[in-house]
Each structure stands twice: as structure tokens, then as C-alpha cells.
Structure 1
């Protein structure tokens, strides 16, 4: 059976189960969270955040080298059909180092310092360079699980913060080069880049620190996501994309 046919069979069942169970699972995870259940979480609670900021010059250097072949960075919607609602055009591009717990060796080899740094983050789920081109919009949406938190660090962001920002739970934040912040994406959020410059960040998803039943539910839910057609499609598409890139 082809990947495409298998996905069509699995996805409806996953969606139905997820919609029914997700509110309860999220409530349990939030109840048993070891960090505050708020839109923004203090980055000081995660020591690796400071290490990333200190390594910003090296990370930025690797990113600039990648951008010399910018056409080799795919649009997110090409890798993940499930993201097409919030990636309405080709302007949101993603260079995955790790995706949903899976390492992308070809990409890590192109940014070895960054890959080594993010690879040591406890509970790492995904790490990628996220690029939003001029005029890019990511519509308002909610993340699927309290089991993960997001970290953004500015790599090469527009000079005017008034026209390039993310709004989370009604609070608007602009990225700064070399500075990171952590947030819970289950709160409503959306992104705008109304400048004529690229917005480039290091985007990390990692497991929320939890305990007890919440920890168990988190592990079960995230395992289900990793084995779902949603992730398998992304994995297959990344392999196809890298296979057809010119040798470098």
C-alpha cells in the first residue's frame, strides 16, 4: 500500500479520536505541569535557552550559509499537507533539523553546530529554521497539545518590530536577533510579516515538563502523533525533497 493511500485511511480516525480526547488530555497535562500554564513561560526555567543565545553568532553563520541556496528550503505546505490551512501560500518555509522526534541527517550535516545544540535539548520534538517571506501571514490558530512548548529565537529578523510580530493570547511580541522566548501554542496566536524583509527564526518544540498522570498522558499522546499519518507524510516528503536536491 502506498503512503498516500495509507494516510487517507488513517487520518479520519486520528482526527475523530483526537478531537474527542484532546480537551481532556490537555486538561490533565496542564494540571500536572511542572511549569506555569500561561501563554508565556519564563525562559530561565530552561537552561538550554541561554546556551542557544550565547551560540547565536555561530547559529546565524550556519543559517546564512544555508540561505546561499535559499531555493533549496521548501515551503512548509509542501512538506506537510495538514499545515496548508495555516500556510496558505509558499511564503512560510521550513528547514527541519529534527521533526517530530525524527532527525534529518542531511539537514543536520549542513548546520552541525546548531544541530548539536538543539539535539541536546531535553524532550526535543522539532527544531527548524522557520522563514517567513515579505508579506507572509500565518492565520490565527491553536496548537494541538499542551504536551509541547515552543521556543523562538530570532536569527535574522526585520528591523522594524511594528510590522513583523507574533500575537499570542492578545499579546504582541516582536523577535530580536539572538534572543529567545518560550510560549504555549495552545493559546490563540497568529503571525504577520508586513515588511519587505525576511523573518528568520530558530523554531523549537519540546516536551512540557510534567509529572504523574499528566506525564503518562503526554507520552501516549505524543507517541500517537509520531506514528500518525500526519508525521509519516512529513517524513516521506522531507526524504523526497532532499533526494531531488542538487549535490552540494
Structure 2
């Protein structure tokens, strides 16, 4: 390759990087511009935390939380082998860089982690009944893990937590906006993660919640626009790379578990 060709390739690489960053920046501005409209057209209101009674499907999850907990206990037997959140979602590096936030994925924007789901069949059955569920996983905070303040990328989704393992409720807390709540085993929280939020496990034990993102109920015709935006998010490199990382982890896990012949 000639020196001229090398310079041309280097220039094209810079231009591509700038175009990619420009597209990301413009996309973020557009999404932010939708947030006020989403808040106004939300069928469940616009708040940091929501009344769980607005979501009838929560009752069955709470009634079966111990069923989910039993499957979780099996997963926790090899907790150190589970991926860190940033190993699956690289953009989480801005809020966590250690090995004390573990994840066990079931679903992510249409992608099913079959190996994980097969291992926890009852949990899978229950989360598959959540209307418009987009993401579901066990979120595992090891002792004394803190997650600094951050915000979610899109207001058209809501976040659900079901407490599964909460050793000391007074030491395990979630702040969303100006409100702080404490997880409790068998109890639910629903919140809007586009409010600045942070989480703490100040106990000496592991804290685990079932973590679900689902489509925010919206009035027509904004419900159609909202689902279109979520589909675009599902097609984004951010989500696609996460799916590939889950697949890679499952492949490594299967290989490690295979008997030596």
C-alpha cells in the first residue's frame, strides 16, 4: 500500500468515526426531545416511582417470588462465574468497572438466552407473561457494591424490580430522583429510569432483584410511535453487541461445563 493510499484510508476512518458520533449525538437529541411528549401521553402518569397496582401482572410475580428465588439459589452457587454487567453491556463501564455487579440474562429485546432460560424454567414462564417485556435478568449486587448516579436512555420504557434476596432492607436502597426506596423480598418497585438514580448494597451479603424493562403504556397514537422507537433501539449496535456478548458467554459456559473425554 502506498503512502498516499494509507493517508486516504486514515482520512476515511476519521470521517467514518465523526459520522458515527454525529449520528449518535443527533439520535440522542431526538430521543430527549420526545421525553416531554411521552410524559404527557403516558397512560400511567409521569413519576419517578409508580403505584404497582397500576400493573395487574405484578400480583402473579409476587405470589411466585419464592419459586423464582429457588431457581436463583441454584444460579448463585456459581455466582463468581457469572458475567459482570459491563461484560454484557459495555456502556455500563461509565458506572461500574469492578466485578461486584453480576448478571444472569433471560431476555434482551427479542433475544432469548436459551441456556439460562432452560436452567430457570419457572422464572422464564413468569417473565414471559409480562406484557411488552423487553429485557429481563437477575441483577446481582455483591456486598458493599454501590452504583453511582446515572440515567436510562429512553423514557418509553419503565423498569421493574422484584426483591428476591435482600439480606438487610435498611442497607439496600434505590434512589430515583429525590425519592429513596428499600427493596424487600417478595415486593416490587416500578420506576422511570430516565430520572437520575443510584443504588446501594451496604450489607455484607448479596442482594438480588429480578430486573425487567417493559414498554410504558401510552395513549394512541403515541403508543405506535413508542413501539417504533423501541424497535429502532433493538436494532441499534448497542443492543446487538449486548446480544453477541450473551451468546459468547453462553458458549464459554457450555464449553467449561462439558465433560473432559
Rounded to whole Å, the distance in 1 between the matches of 2:117 and 2:87 is 20
Which of residues 174, 182, 186 is equivalent to 1:174? Answer: 182
C-alpha displacement at 1:11, in angstroms? 5.7
CA contact (8 A) 1:140 1:190 kept: yes
Number of the residue aligned with 1:164: 172
Query: What TM-score, normalized by structure 2, do the two folds share?
Result: 0.87
Cα deviation for residue 198 of structure 1 reads 0.7
Structure 1: gaps (5+ residues): 1-7
TM-score normalised to structure 1 length: 0.92
SS in 1 for 2:77: helix
Matches for 1:127-166 after TM superposition, within 5 Å: 127-159=136-168, 161-166=169-174
Gaps of 5+ in 2: 1-16
Residue 44 (structure 1) aligns with: 53
Rg larger in structure: 2
Following TM superposition, by how much is the alpha carbon of 1:85 offset from its aligned partner in structure 2, in angstroms?
Answer: 0.7
Q: More deviation in 24-33 or 105-114?
A: 24-33
Compared CA separation, residues 49 and 106, structure 1 to 2 (3 A): same
Distance 1:135 1:10 in 2: 41
- Higher RCO, 1 vs 2 (CA within 8 Å, ≥6 residues apart): 1
How many correspondences in the alignment?
Answer: 241
Distance 1:65 1:143 in 2: 30
1:7-156 matches, cutoff 5 A: 12-156=21-165
- Residue 203 in structure 1 maps to residue 211 in structure 2: yes
What's 2:257 paired with?
247
Tell whether the 8 Å contact from 1:31 to 1:214 is kept in structure 2 after alignment: no
